[in-house]
């Protein structure tokens, strides 16, 4: 006999539906690390980018809110269009991990966000990518578009914050 509990809610910490929540939590913690030190890191590099700490904080905050919202909706709404958007976000988050590592290596300094990107965002997003309610090739194409869209979306967020 199947109990009501077994029918109504997936159980266990590692159930695939939890991947959406874990990715959201990982990105939230990553954004907090960026908020704590990214503005100072950018200022210390003398980059040809003119952006103030409040503008950078505003851009990080709004991007984090958007990503969290998409991942939360993606956990509960499993239709194809929503899952395509989630796959795009996952691709962008994976590209963000690569950008943190690349910029840390290029400058030979620790870019704030690199630790949480590697320790939290990378495994959470890979797990979500593998278990999301969308099959390949749509998942792969959407994630690839997300990878390509990461930089332009970031620049738009920074421009809107300015």
Region 80-101: mean pLDDT is: 95
CA dist., res. 55 & res. 139, Å (int): 33
In a domain, 10, yes or no: no
- Domain hosting residue 130, numbered range: 15-44+51-161
Q: Under DSSP, is residue 47 helix (H, G, I), strand (E, B) or coil? A: coil
In a domain, 132, yes or no: yes
Region 104-114: mean pLDDT is: 94
Region 10-22: mean pLDDT is: 73
In a domain, 117, yes or no: yes
The pLDDT assigned to 141 comes to 96
pLDDT tens for each residue of 119-137: 999 999 999 999 888 888 9
In a domain, 55, yes or no: yes
What's the domain count of the chain? 1
The pLDDT assigned to 121 comes to 97
The pLDDT assigned to 8 comes to 53
Distance, CA of 66 to chain centre: 10
In a domain, 6, yes or no: no
In a domain, 4, yes or no: no
CA dist., res. 113 & res. 97, Å (int): 9
In a domain, 143, yes or no: yes
Q: Which pTM value belongs to this model?
A: 0.87
- Backbone CA torsion sign across 112, 115, 120, 125: positive
Widest pairwise Cα distance in the chain: 67
In a domain, 2, yes or no: no
pLDDT tens for each residue of 142-162: 999 999 999 989 888 888 887
CA dist., res. 134 & res. 151, Å (int): 24
């Amino acid at each position: 006999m199947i109990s009501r509990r077994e029918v109504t809610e997936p159980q266990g910490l590692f159930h695939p539906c939890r991947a959406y929540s874990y990715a959201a939590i990982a990105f939230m913690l990553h954004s907090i690390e960026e908020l704590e030190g990214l503005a100072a890191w950018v200022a210390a590099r003398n980059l040809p980018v003119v952006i103030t700490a409040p503008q950078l904080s505003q851009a990080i905050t709004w991007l984090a809110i958007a990503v969290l919202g998409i991942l939360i909706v993606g956990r509960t709404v499993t239709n194809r269009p929503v899952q395509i958007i989630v796959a795009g976000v996952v691709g962008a988050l994976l590209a963000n991990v690569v950008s943190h590592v690349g910029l840390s290596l290029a400058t030979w300094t620790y870019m704030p966000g690199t630790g949480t990107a590697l320790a939290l965002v990378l495994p959470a997003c890979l797990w979500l990518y593998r278990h999301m309610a969308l099959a390949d090739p749509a998942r792969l194409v959407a994630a690839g578009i997300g990878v390509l869209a990461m930089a332009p979306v970031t620049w738009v967020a920074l421009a809107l914050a300015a």
